[in-house]
A and B are shown apart, each in its own frame.
Chain A
Amino acid sequence: MIDFDKWQEIFNSIRRHPLRTILTALGVFWGIFMLVLLLGAGRGLQNGVEYEFRDDATNSVWVRRGVTSLPYQGLPKGRRIRFTNEDYDMLAEHFKEVEYLTGRFYLSGDQTITYGKTALSYSVRAVHPDHRYLENTMMKSGRYINETDLKEYRKVAVIGAVVQKDLFGDEPPLGKQIKIGSTIYTVVGSYTDTGGDDEMRIIYIPVSTAQKVYAGTEELHQLMFTTGDMGLEEIQQLQEEVRDAFARRHQFDVNDRKALYVFGAAEEYQKFMNLFAAIRAFVWFVGLGSIVAGVIGVSNIMLIVVKDRTKEIGIRKALGATPRSIIAMILQESILITAVAGYLGLLAGVGAISLMESIAVEYFRSPRVDLGVGIAATLVLVAAGALAGLMPARKAAQINPVVAMREG
């Protein structure tokens, strides 16, 4: 019953000052709305970039050939570095910390692939069995390239889902024979890849077969490996050791950055993560700023409320209102307004974020806000609003009723 009275008093006061209530509520609403929106957008940006990285293992290291730019022990600059199977073997033997290792042999340009009467053009990569882990290749049917294929120089091919659809339609592809250029291969598997359609337009064949059929040498064009769960610093050290080993084998200056390119995805990934840490800090800074503005707005309004109600407070005190009941009356109104407005801001923010989710932009994906953070922010704002109202409320409670009643 008493509670009902309190609420009635509060609603009464709110009804009498709709504009003031709306202005207070708007400040709080906007603060929470912006915070939620910014946090959500920041998250979306981060998800977007992480999505761009999804295709390749984030712990992969790529080793590419270059041309020497420094003379080394009497050897001239401008020498082209070439990889062979020996480089692959060296990595496999000397670097036990390497998790998955593969070489790549590119067939020059796109190849014409023929099945029956259909002839289409796709790129072909000749790889080692571990390659599937570096590209996050997922088998759809059949199997990937294996060691036996390599040892026996089998003419087998693993085709992407797009290739399969284009060449075979609904026909099962396994065991079918396709022509790559003029050589016949047997399809042993098909795969999908999270990297999108382009990644599924590729045909994989055993590296040894390609070397024998298309080059007649043991050449490799590129080497790639993953580093397991090593930390960034360990990976960087490993990269330097790899560079060292290649410099010794191929006789170039270890400081010659153009002779060999060693690229670590982890380093790049870390750069983005650092960027996001900065963006998150900025988002919090701006979001908290708008919350502080909301709090200042609330305390301002509460000052006006107290000033406006001075005479009423005087009358109530004369009739026996205790200071505590005066403070409670003013604070409850402030808390109610901030709580409702904060809650609406939270709802609107979450709503706006789910609208943004339907926007398809590169580097922006599934914006989401931690609801706990939003609720915490609302609670902080309510508490701050109460605190902001407490000062003027206490002042109001100390008013001498005689002086107060003389006002207005």
Chain B
Amino acid sequence: MIQLRNIRKSYKTGYTQLEVLKGIDLDIEAGAFASIMGSSGSGKSTLLNIIGILDEYDEGDYRLDGRMIKGLSQTEAAQYRNRFIGFVFQSFNLLPFKTAQENVALPLYYQKMDRKKRQALAMEYLDMVGLADWAEHLPNQLSGGQQQRVAIARALITQPKVILADEPTGALDSHTSYEVMQLFQKVNKEGITVIIVTHENDIAAMTRRVIRLRDGIIESGGVAASASS
């Protein structure tokens, strides 16, 4: 599903170049449930952003579901994100002025889906994450765990091939964190590839594969690892 070959990425900070990724080789098969771990500054979020086509890379090759992801126009990148990838963020990133239902339906708006159809689908996905009764609530009327479940529903509604979650439990207490992780497990069982960035060992332990990153290179769990491990 995901193939990374010698991916390099550096950021300009003032006059110096900060190399964040120093040649990443990584394969993640379809249907995987993986976590990317590492201390802050290890490059794990950057890696996730490159996989999610939110950020560009300087060198190397990236194939997503067999498609070369390189030198895409902004419009193409937006369409790939919309069709193939669902995002879940640490800070939920729900639009504060839209109800839970409208937030979930938003990705379908960019697929130009009919409004009624969209709202009905959004309701289905809200029901799936157990929040059907909260459809008309605004994000600030929901708890952190509920907000993250809305965000997961939003990520799932386009039926993406990959769910990318950046510290999805970072802002939640441990009980809620487990609930959210159970949800991810359920999603994964339906065949969707789930990749989670985290620095919490117990969260990583709930996935089936752990990729460790250190100073911009993969320390363990890279190409060599297999689903059976």
Contacts and interface: CB of A to CB of B under 8 A. Distances in A.
Interface of A: 1-2, 4-5, 12, 16, 311-312, 314-325, 397-398, 400-402, 405
B10 interface: no
Interface string B65-104: 0000000001100110111000101010111010000000
Nearest to B74: A323
Contacts of A318: 52, 54, 81, 87, 93
A319 B107 CA distance: 5
Given A318-B52, A320-B79, A320-B158, 6 more contacts: A1-B115, A311-B93, A312-B95, A318-B93, A319-B154, A400-B55
B114 interface: yes
Contacts of A314: 93
A321 B54 contact: no
B163 interface: no
20 contacts: A1-B115, A2-B112, A2-B115, A5-B109, A16-B97, A311-B93, A312-B95, A315-B94, A318-B54, A318-B81, A318-B93, A320-B82, A320-B110, A322-B78, A323-B74, A325-B110, A398-B74, A401-B54, A402-B49, A405-B93
Given A1-B115, A312-B95, A397-B74, A320 B107 contact: yes
Contacts of B83: 320
B195 to A, nearest CB: 15
A319 B95 CA distance: 11
A402 B54 contact: yes
Contacts of B55: 400, 402
* 4 closest residue pairs by CB, A with B: A320-B82, A320-B110, A322-B78, A322-B75
Contacts of A12: 97
Contacts of B111: 320
A319 B180 CA distance: 20
A319 B115 contact: no
B102 to A, nearest CB: 9
B118 to A, nearest CB: 9
Contacts of B95: 312, 315
B12 to A, nearest CB: 13
Contacts of B116: 1
B106 interface: yes
Nearest to B158: A320
Size class of the B contact interface (CB-based, 8 Å): 20 to 34
Nearest to B116: A1
Contacts of A312: 95
B78 A321 contact: yes
B137 to A, nearest CB: 16
A222 B116 CA distance: 89
B93 A321 contact: no
Nearest to B92: A315
A318 B93 CA distance: 10
Nearest to A400: B55
Contacts of A319: 81-82, 87, 106-107, 110, 154
A20 to B, nearest CB: 15
Contacts of B91: 405
B110 A322 contact: yes
A106 to B, nearest CB: 84
Contacts of B89: 405
Contacts of A398: 74
Contacts of B154: 319
Contacts of B81: 317-320
A317 B77 CA distance: 9
B31 to A, nearest CB: 23
Given A318-B93, A321-B110, A400-B55, A5 B115 contact: yes
A324 B78 CA distance: 10
A324 B112 CA distance: 14
B75 A323 contact: yes
Contacts of B112: 2
A407 to B, nearest CB: 11
Contact of A322 (B54, B74, B158): B74
Contacts of B110: 316, 319-322, 325
Contacts of A321: 78, 110
Contacts of B109: 5
Contact of A316 (B49, B106, B158): B106
Nearest to B89: A405
B49 A320 contact: no
Contacts of A323: 74-75, 78
Contacts of A322: 74-75, 78-79, 110
Contacts of A1: 114-116
A4 B115 contact: yes
A11 to B, nearest CB: 11
Contacts of B106: 316, 319
Contacts of A317: 78, 81
Contacts of A311: 93
Contacts of B52: 318
A312 B82 CA distance: 16
Nearest to A398: B74
A400 B50 CA distance: 12
Nearest to A323: B74
Given A318-B81, A319-B107, A324 B93 contact: no
Contacts of B82: 319-320
A312 B95 CA distance: 7
